[in-house]
Structure 1
Amino acid sequence: LYRRLAGVRDLNELMQIKGMGQAKAATVLAALEIGRRIASARPLDKIHFGCPQDGAAFLMPRLRYATKEQFLVILLNSKNKVIGTELVSEGSLTNSVVHPREVFLPAILQHAASICVAHNHPSGDPMPSIEDRQLTAVLLAAGKTLGIPLLDHLIIGDGAYYSFQEDGALEV
């Protein structure tokens, strides 16, 4: 039940639960959103991405229970401190459409020194697909061209993550 509730983002979904009217569902939905925000709340300038575990710890509360794929770009300064996060794409249960221009636009506009990208696998299994590997190669090459390096691509699963950097898979 907790896992199901953690991923709820729609009022109608909550109202399917017996005894849950619109007012109660709205209250529960608001409480869930507050919980998600508190779980991932820290001043961004205090968050440092020194290793893939840091990135996974930052992203896990936000992405672990999402029921649709979400693709994020994390913007980093020259000391690998977070200066912002942007939702690039929200897709379906199994994929989301991502293009390098949408990934790097926030990095350019916010003067990021580098980026980390991340998405979730609602299935819970963080192992990358062929498409994930292809996208990572495209983003790595685009980052080199733009002078905004891609430091990692993290895939968040259910309590687990995959890091392209840790796996040595950030090669063009």
Structure 2
Amino acid sequence: MNLMVKEVAERVYETAGVNQLSMRELLYLMVGKGTKNHSLDDIINDIMQKHHDYGLRNLSIEEIESIPGVGRRTAERICGAVELGRKAYNSNLDKKESIKSPEDAANLLQDIKHERQEHFVAIYLDSRNNVLARRTIFIGSLNSSVVHPREVYREAVKLSAASLVVGHNHQFKYST
């Protein structure tokens, strides 16, 4: 076992969970080892650079696999973990979260801020401002998103929503 992986694994047990680990440490656990020509540190540094440049969630299996020392299985494992995290995050909406402030709404839109294309999202609320559903209404181009109001309201009527919050992202910038 690689020394760094062993240290990270020990830290998991000391802190009673992976939630205290940094992204780099989680990658150490997922990648596990380097290759003859590429050290684990070099591989993790290259993955972190791609994350910095594009956002890890925007990388395909092929893009991660193109990193020297990363094989197909490791690339699939990383992309699978990212997708699992995304689905787990989105499933939290089923817990009847409520929106009591603009910050609450912004928190529910955090996942779109690093998307490559503009996303127009609607959050549908009941009469007590509990979240009924969240829908991506439209995925636009690199820098624009054209949405017709009927698309937004169709879902609101279907859900019998009392109100709604809409938001969209600016590529690699801030959600608004």
Q: For 1:5 and 1:18, how far apart are their aligned partners in 2?
A: 18
- The aligned counterpart of 2:83 is 33
Structure 2 unaligned spans of 5+ = 1-47
> TM-score, normalised on structure 1?
0.64
Structure 2 residue matching 1:7: 3-state secondary structure: helix
Counterpart in the other structure of 1:6: 56
Specify which of 50, 67, 75 is matched with residue 100 of structure 2.
50
In 1, distance between residues paired with 2:66 and 2:154?
39
Distance 1:10 1:96, change over 3 A: farther
Q: What is the CA distance between 1:64 and its match in structure 2?
A: 2.3
TM-aligned CA deviation for residue 88 of structure 1: 0.7
* Cα deviations by residue, 1:107-156 (Å, 9 ceiling, x for unpaired): 111111111011111141x4xxxxxxxxxxxxxxxxxxxxxxxxxxxxx1
Does structure 2 conserve the Cα–Cα contact (< 8 Å) formed by 1:6 and 1:65? no
Is the contact made by 1:73 and 1:88 (CA closer than 8 Å) also made in structure 2?
yes
Match of 1:86 among 131, 135, 139: 135
- Measured after TM superposition, the shift of residue 24 of structure 1 is 2.0
Pair 43,8 (structure 1): closer, same or farther in 2 beyond 3 Å = closer
CA distance in 2, matches of 1:27, 1:107: 37
Counterpart position of 2:118: 69
Distance 1:43 1:71, change over 3 A: closer
Query: Which is helix-richer, 1 or 2?
Result: 2
Contact 2:125/2:162 (CA < 8 Å) preserved in 1? yes
The residue identity in structure 2 corresponding to 1:73 is: A
Residue 27 to residue 119, structure 1, CA distance change in 2 (3 Å):
same
Unaligned runs of 5+ in 1: 127-155, 157-161, 163-172
Is the counterpart of residue 108 in structure 1 residue 157 in structure 2? yes
**Alpha-carbon offset, residue 53 of structure 1:** 0.3
Offset from partner CA, 1:11-67 (integer Å, 9 cap, x none): 23323322233322221111011223334542534311111000111221x112222
Report the equivalent of 1:151.
none
1:126-145 correspondence runs (5 A): 126=174
Contact 1:68 1:122 (8 Å CA) reproduced: yes
2:94 aligned partner, one-letter code = L
Identity of paired residues, percent?
Answer: 32
TM-score scaled to structure 2, two decimals?
0.63
8 Å Cα contact 2:96-2:132 kept in structure 1: no
Measure the CA separation in 2 of the matches of 1:41 and 1:109: 20
State the Cα RMSD in Å: 2.0
